[in-house]
Structure 1
Amino acid sequence: MTRPASTRPRPFRILSHLGVMVAVAAVMGVIVAGLAIPFAGVLGIGARNVAQSVEELPEELETQRLPERSRIVDGAGNTIANIFEENRQIVSLRDVSPMMRKAIVSIEDYRFYQHGALDLRGTLRALVTNQASDGVVQGGSSITQQMVKLTLVQQADTPEERAAAVDDTYARKLRELRYAIAFEENHSKDWILERYLNIAYFGDGAYGIEAASETYFDKSAKDLNVKESALLAGLVRNPTGYDPTNSPERAQQRRNVVLNRMAELGVIPQPKANRLKRADLGLSPTNLQNGCVSSRAAFFCDYVLKYLQEDPSLGETPEERMEFIQTAGLTIRTTIDQRFQAAADEAVQATVFPTDQAIGALAMVEPGTGRVRAVAQSRPMGSDQEAGQTYLNYVVPERYGDSNGFQGGSTFKLFVTAAALNQGISPYTSINSPDDAAFDLGSYEVCDGEFYQSSEVYAPGNSTESGVMNMYTGTQLSVNTYYMALEQQTGICEPYELAQQMGVELDNPERELVPTFTLGVADVSPMEMAEAYATFAARGVHCPARPVNDITDAAGTMLKEYDSDCTQVLPESTADQINDILRGVMESGFGSGLQIGQPSAGKTGTAQGNAVWFNAYTPNLATAAMIAGANEFGSPINMAGVPIGGAYRNVSGSGFAGPMWYDAMIDIAPFLDDEDFVRPTTAE
C-alpha cells in the first residue's frame, strides 16, 4: 500500500530532513548505520553543502521486481524442477506469521512504526553501545535504511556498482538516507517491511522469508512459531556466521538474544522466552535443488528449458530468455505424465546400463496434440563419465540435446509407403523382391524431375525373406529389396518431404536425399520418430512435439499458452491404410509377441549394427524405442560383441528395442483410453 504524497511545502520538507541529518552528523559524525564517518569529515560540511547534495540526489529509488524462482511442473501442478538465480518466493506481509513480523522488528528496529526514515534515538543508542564495546556491536540503521542498502546491492549491474552500494563513505550514506526518506514519504510501513523480508538474505542459499522458512523448517512463513521466528530474525545480521546448519551453537545463542529482546519489549512474556531458550533449534532442513540434474525427469526438464530458449516471446536472445525463466517466478506447466515417465525410466534402465557402450532411449508423444509425455534415456544426467553420466540428451533433436542422433534404419520405409499410397499405388500391388536384386542408383528420381547422379549399382540383400511381396508382407517382413523397388516407383522427393512434414529434421539433402533413404541412412532422434509415427496414429494430422502447455507469472496470470499447431499432411485414407499395415506387424509380424492389451501398430528398424528401433503406437500414444551403440563421448559404435544390460544381445529391433518398448507400454496401457484405429476402405 502506498502512502499519499506529503502535502507539506517542499522547502519545509527538505529543511526538516536536513535538520535531522545535520543534527546527527554534528553530534556523532555519522549519517547512517555504519557509524564510521570521522567527526572531522562531517563537521567540515556546512548545511548549505548538505542541502545542495540532497537536492542533487534523485528523489526516489525505483525498485525493480526481486528475482524469484520459477517452477517446472506437470499437468497436476507437481514440481519437476526449480530454476533460479536466487532461491526466493515473494510473499505478501499477510502471508508472514505475525510473530515473525514482531521478531524482526524487535531485533532490527523496535521503533520502526514510530519513527521516520532515520531513528535518531536508535542511532544514538547504537553509537553509545559501539563506543563502549570499542567496535560495531549494534547497528543504527532503520529497517528502511537496510532495505535501501539491500535494494541498491540487488539492483547493481556491475562489480563497481555493488562495491559503491556498500562503500563506507559519506556520499553513499547520504544517498542511502535520501532514498530512505523517499520510501517513507511514498510507501506505507507495511510495504517497506514486506519488501525487507522478501529481499533479505537468510543464509544457506535462502533469499527472503518464505525461502528461509522452507529451507530451515520445511514450512511456509505464515506457519512460523515464536521459536522459529526468533531464529530467522537473528540471521539477517550475519547469515553466514549464524547459519544454523553449519553453526548451530552460534545460531542458538543469536536466537536467544532475539527471544530476550522480544521479552524485554513485552512481545512475549519473559517466562516463555526462558523456556524457549532451553529448547533445541527444531530444524527440519530442506535443500532445494536448482536446475534439472536432480529432477526425477532430468532430460525432460532440460528439453523444456532448451525449447523455451527458442521462444522469442520470452526475450530477444536465448540468454535473455534463460535469465527471464530464472528470475521471473514463473510456473511452467508441462506436458509430462509422470506415470508414463516412471514406466519409461524403469524400462530403459532395466535394458541398458549407464556404463554400457550403448544408449537406451524412449520418447512418447500424444497423437493429435504433439504433447510430449515422457523422455527417458539410460545414461543419467551429470558430469561423472565413469558412472556413465552425461549432459547429452540422446532422445530429442540435436538443437535441443546436442546429440547428432542415429540412423533410423527400416523405420523410414513407412515414408515411402505413404508416398506410394498418395500416388495411388495399391497396397496389394505385388513386387518381386529377390535377395540378390541389384538397383541402378541413377534410376531414382529426386526432385524437380531430376535423377540421382550416380552410375553405381546397389545390391542391399534381405535379412528376412525374399519373394513376391506387397505392402503388407513387405512391411511385416521388412524386405529391403521390396522397398528399394517401391521407391523406384515413388521417387525419393515425396518420401523425403513427407518425412520433413511429419517432424523429421532433415537438412542435409546431399547425404539424405539418396536412393538408400528408404533404408534409414539419415540420423534421427527418438523424439522425431515418435512425432512422425504419431502422425499416422492421428490419421494424417501432424502436430509438432511440444513439452509445454502454458506459462503463468508469479501472480498466476497467464503469460502464454502453447497450443497445438497441427496440419493435415496425409489424407486420412493413407494414414488409415498405413495403420492397418503396421497393425499387421503387431498381430502377425515381428511385434506379435509384444501385445499390450490395446490396439497397436509398429515398425522395427536396424541400422548397420549401430542402432535398433521399435517405433509403435496406439491410437493415443506414439512411442519410439531406440538402442544405439555409443561410446562415452556419444559417437556411434557397432553394438556387435558389446555387452548391454549385463548380457550379449541379439541386436534386432524386435528382439531388443521391442521388449524395451513393451516393458514401458505394458505399465502405461491401463492409463490409456480404449480406442481403436479406423479400418481402411481400400479394397483388394
Structure 2
Amino acid sequence: MSSRTPSPARSPQGRPNAGRIASHLAVMAAVAVVMGVLIACLAIPFAGLVGVAAKDVSKGMVNLPESLEAKDLSQKTRIYDVNGNLIASLYDQNRINVPLTSISRPMVKAIVAIEDYRFYDHGALDLKGTLRAFITNQANGGSVQGGSSITQQMVKQTLLYQAETDEERKAATEETYARKIRELRYAIAFEKNHSKDWILERYLNIAYFGDGAFGVQAAAKHFFSKNASKLNLLESATLAGLVKNPVGYDPVDNPERAESRRNVVLDRMAQLGILTEKKADRLKNTPIGDTLKVTSSPNGCQQSQAPFFCDYVVSWLLKDPVLGDTMKERRRTLNNGGLTIRTTIDLDMQKAADQAVSAHVFPTDQAIGGLAMVEPGTGDVRALAQSRPMGKDKAAGQTYLNYVVPKKYGDANGFQAGSTFKVFVLASAINQGIPLSTTISSPEQMNIPDEDFENCDGPYAGDGKGWTVSNSTGSGTFDLYSGTQNSVNTFFAQLEEQTGMCEPLQLAKDMGVKVPLAQKVPSWILGVSDSNPLELAQAYATFAARGLHCDPRPVTEVLDSQGQALKDFSSQCEQVMPGATADAVNDILRGVMEPGGFGQNIAIDKPSAGKTGTNQNNMSVWFAGYTPKIATVAMVAGANQLGEWVSLNGQYVGGSPIYEAFGSTVAGPIWGDAMSAISAKLPYEDFQAPAGDEIAGVLTSVPDVTGQSVEAATSTLEAAGFTVADGGQVNSDLEQGLVASTSPAAGIQLSSGDTVTLYTSTGYVPPPPSNDGGKGKGKGKGKGGGKGRG
C-alpha cells in the first residue's frame, strides 16, 4: 500500500502556501514541456491542445489528489486437499502476486527493454523516451513504440483495476488530454513515495498478459507451465511482447504475430546490449510453438476434482465472518483475496466414493446416488460424491444442487432416512440400563396407543388413533441384538415405549440430526425426517468414536495472501454418551455385517458395523456403516429429472432393474465398493468390547480362568459382567484350591449378569479302577488248608 503525502498547510485566506505553489508550478512546467509531444500518445489534433488555457491546466492539477492509493491486487484463492494437492482455484482475475525477487532477471530485462529502457534513469515522465517514440512512430507511419513510462502504465492499470463504475472505467481508458494529465500527476506521486523496484514489481503483477492471465506469475504458469522465477530469454521475450496487445499477440491464437513480436523484443534487447545480435538471431529461429507448454487454470468448483466437496467448502466459509461482515464481502475475499484453504478431503477416498456412486447410479437415472465419508474423533470430511454431476445441462443429468450435505450448504431438502434413525432409540435404551438380552414379542403388526409414548412433557398427545406399525421382516421374539440385526419395526416401537421419546430425540440432536417439531411423533424412529449422507455419517461416526460427537469439518486452516494464518478451524467435539454405551451399540451393529445380517455380503476385511434404512414406498434407501477409523453413508433416492420424488421400485438404476428397493441391496453395494477400495488405507483396529459390568445384557464369551485362584477368576468374570457362583470341589490334577473348570465352559457366550459357576480343584485324582472290575486273580489257602476264592 502506498503512503499518502500530508497536504501542505494553507494560508489564513485559504490560498496554497509557497511550498505547494512551487510543487504545482513544477508539475505545470513538466506538462508545458510535453504538450508538444503528447500527440505521440494521443491521436488528437494539436489545435485541440492550443485551446487549453494554462490556468485550466493548473486548476486541474491542483484539484487532483496528491497521490493515488494503490489497493492490494486481487489474487486467486487456492483450495488444497489434506495432503497438499491443489483441488480448486477461485478467482475473478487469474493472478498470483510475486515479489520482484521471484521474477527471473531475463524477464525483468525484457520488459524494461521493450516498454521503458530508461526506467531506472528517469522520473515519472521520460521526456527523451516520449520524443523518441513520437519520432519513431511518425517515421513508421504508425504506433511502434509507446511513449508512456512504466510508471505511467502502472498508474493507468491501477486506475482501471480500481474503477468500480462504468464512468470510472471509461475515464481510465479514454484517449484524452485530461487522462494523460491525471496519470502524470499520480505517476509523480508514485515516484516520490515508492522505489523503482516497487513500481516495477506492481507493474509486472498488475499487467494483463492475455488469455485470462493477469500478472507475470499467472502468465508464466499458463503459457509455459513454470514459475516466473524460471523464465528464460525466449519465454521472457514472449511475455514482454504481450503487454502491448495481449489479444493480438496471443501466442496460442495468433502464433505468427506473437513470434514476430517476440523477435522485436529480442532485437531491442540486442540493440541495448543485453544480449549479442548473434544470440538474438539464433533465438529468433526457434518457432514459438516449440516453447509453449500451455496449462489451463480451472476456475471454480465445477472444474474441481471434487466439485461438490469444493461447493460445500465455499458455502461453509461464506457463513464465517472471518472473511467479512457481509455475504458480499466474504465472497469478494474468497474470489480475490489470494487465500490458501487447507481442507480435509482425501483424494484417494474421494476417487473411491466417485467410482462407487457412478458405477451404481447413472446421471440420467430417475434416482440420485450419494455418499459421504467422515473421520470419527475429528469430524473431518474425507469425501463427498453424488451421481448427478455439477452443471446446468439437465438433459445430461447435471445439477448445481448438492444432495449430500445439509440444506443450508447445498440447497437440497434431503430424503427420508428410514430405519437408520432406530439407533437413537437403541443407544438410549442401553444408556437407561435396559439389558441387551431383553426380549420383546414382536408381532407382524400392532397398534400402540398414543399415551403409551412419553415425551419430555409427559404422555404423548396424538390424534387418539395410536400408532399402527408393521414389519417387513416377519414376527417373533427378539432381543436388542436380533431385533436390530433384523430391523424389526414392532420391536423398536415397543422399545421406544420403554425409553420414551425425549431422550432419543435429544440424543439425535446432540449427534447432529435435528428432527423438526412437527415430526416429533412416535414414528420418527422410522426415519420420516429428511436427512442427507453427511448428516448421518457424522452421527454414526459418534458411535465409532465411542460417544464423542464432532461437527463435520471440511476446512482446517485458511491463510491470507501473505501466508499468515487467517483462522485455524479446530475440531468441535463433545462427549454425548458414555463410551460403554457406544461400545454396546457397536457390538450390536457389527452383527449386521456378520453372517445372517443384512450387510454380510458387503462386509470388508476390517471390523465394521452398520445399519440399513428403507423408507415408506421405497422412495429412498440407505446404508450407514463404519469402522473405528471412518464412517460412510450411502444413499439412493428416487427422483425424476423434474426434481419430483418417485419410488425406486420398477426403476432402472445403474443399468439394472429394481423390483423392490432395500438399503442392503441398492445402497449397500455402493458402500461396499467404496469401503473395499479404501480398506488398504485403513489400519486394522477392532471395536472395544462393551464392558459387562457397565452394560447389562452384553453378549460376552466366558473367559478361560482355569488354573487361576478363586479370587483372580472371580475378578476376571465379574469384570466381564458375570455373576460368580461357587460350585464346590472337583477332582483335578491342578493344585488344590485353583479353578478346575467353569459352567458354562470357556468360550460360551452369555449375557452380562448371567451366572458362571466355578469349580475348584481337590488337588487329587483317584487312581483308575483295575482292569478286571475288582475280581482277584490269585489263589490262597484257608486256615483249614481248604481252597478259597479271592
Contact 1:476 1:582 in 2 (8 A): yes
1:655 paired residue among 656, 662, 665: 665
Match of 1:630 in 2: 639
- Structure 2 spans left out of the alignment, 5+ residues: 7-17, 698-790
Over the matched positions of the two proteins, sequence identity in percent amounts to 57
Q: Which deviations, in whole Å up to 9, do the C-alpha atoms of 1:276-305 show, x marking residues without a partner?
A: 222111211111110111211111111111
Match of 1:99 in 2: 106
Q: Does 1:163 align with 2:170?
A: yes
Q: Please list every run of at least 4 consecutive aligned residues from structure 1 whose deviation after the TM superposition is greater than 6 angstroms.
A: 1-6
Between the aligned partners of 2:506 and 2:233, the Cα distance in structure 1 is: 68
Q: Does 1:278 align with 2:282?
A: no
Q: Secondary structure at the match of 2:124?
A: coil
1:668 paired residue among 663, 678, 685: 678
Q: Does 1:224 align with 2:222?
A: no
Between the aligned partners of 1:203 and 1:505, the Cα distance in structure 2 is: 50
1:251 paired residue among 249, 255, 258: 258
The 1:441–1:154 alpha-carbon spacing in structure 2 relative to 1, beyond 3 Å, is: same
Match of 2:588 in 1: 581
Q: CA deviation at 1:44?
A: 4.1
Contact 1:403 1:634 in 2 (8 A): no
Moved more, 173-182 or 652-661: 652-661
Moved more, 359-368 or 196-205: 359-368
Instruction: Output the amino acid matched with 2:118.
Output: R
Between the aligned partners of 2:632 and 2:644, the Cα distance in structure 1 is: 24
Between the aligned partners of 2:183 and 2:294, the Cα distance in structure 1 is: 35
Moved more, 205-214 or 427-436: 427-436
Within a 5 Å distance, the mapping from 1:153-232 to structure 2 comes to 153-232=160-239
Within a 5 Å distance, the mapping from 1:3-42 to structure 2 comes to 12-25=22-35, 27-28=36-37, 34-42=41-49
Q: Which deviations, in whole Å up to 9, do the C-alpha atoms of 1:17-48 show, x marking residues without a partner?
A: 332221111x3355xx7334543443344555
Between the aligned partners of 1:95 and 1:263, the Cα distance in structure 2 is: 24
Q: CA deviation at 1:137?
A: 4.0
Q: Secondary structure at the match of 2:446?
A: coil
Contact 1:493 1:513 in 2 (8 A): no
Q: CA deviation at 1:554?
A: 2.1
Q: Secondary structure at the match of 2:594?
A: helix
Q: Secondary structure at the match of 1:258?
A: helix
1:335 paired residue among 344, 348, 354: 344
Q: Does 1:526 align with 2:533?
A: yes
Q: Secondary structure at the match of 1:112?
A: coil
Q: Which deviations, in whole Å up to 9, do the C-alpha atoms of 1:323-344 show, x marking residues without a partner?
A: 1011111110000111111111
Q: CA deviation at 1:199?
A: 0.2
Q: Which deviations, in whole Å up to 9, do the C-alpha atoms of 1:366-408 show, x marking residues without a partner?
A: 1111100100111111122222221111111111111111111
Q: Secondary structure at the match of 2:537?
A: helix
Between the aligned partners of 1:239 and 1:492, the Cα distance in structure 2 is: 68
Match of 1:384 in 2: 393
Match of 1:494 in 2: 503
Between the aligned partners of 2:615 and 2:340, the Cα distance in structure 1 is: 41
Moved more, 34-43 or 142-151: 34-43
Instruction: Output the amino acid matched with 2:545.
Output: A
The 1:319–1:505 alpha-carbon spacing in structure 2 relative to 1, beyond 3 Å, is: farther
Moved more, 403-412 or 34-43: 34-43
- Structure 1 spans left out of the alignment, 5+ residues: none
Contact 1:584 1:601 in 2 (8 A): yes
Within a 5 Å distance, the mapping from 1:240-639 to structure 2 comes to 240-281=247-288, 282-506=291-515, 508-510=516-518, 512-588=519-595, 589-608=597-616, 609-639=618-648
Between the aligned partners of 1:561 and 1:3, the Cα distance in structure 2 is: 31
Q: Secondary structure at the match of 1:460?
A: strand
Q: Which deviations, in whole Å up to 9, do the C-alpha atoms of 1:38-71 show, x marking residues without a partner?
A: 4344334455543443232211111111000011
Contact 2:406 2:532 in 1 (8 A): yes
Between the aligned partners of 1:441 and 1:523, the Cα distance in structure 2 is: 23
Contact 2:4 2:67 in 1 (8 A): no
The 1:4–1:52 alpha-carbon spacing in structure 2 relative to 1, beyond 3 Å, is: closer
RMSD: 2.1
Between the aligned partners of 2:354 and 2:538, the Cα distance in structure 1 is: 19
Q: CA deviation at 1:11?
A: 5.3
Q: Secondary structure at the match of 2:133?
A: helix
Asked which structure has the greater CA Rg, the reply is: 2
Q: Secondary structure at the match of 2:156?
A: helix
Contact 1:492 1:517 in 2 (8 A): no
Q: Which deviations, in whole Å up to 9, do the C-alpha atoms of 1:489-524 show, x marking residues without a partner?
A: 222232222211111133x311x2111101111110
Contact 2:83 2:346 in 1 (8 A): no
Q: Secondary structure at the match of 1:90?
A: coil
Instruction: Output the amino acid matched with 1:59.
Output: E
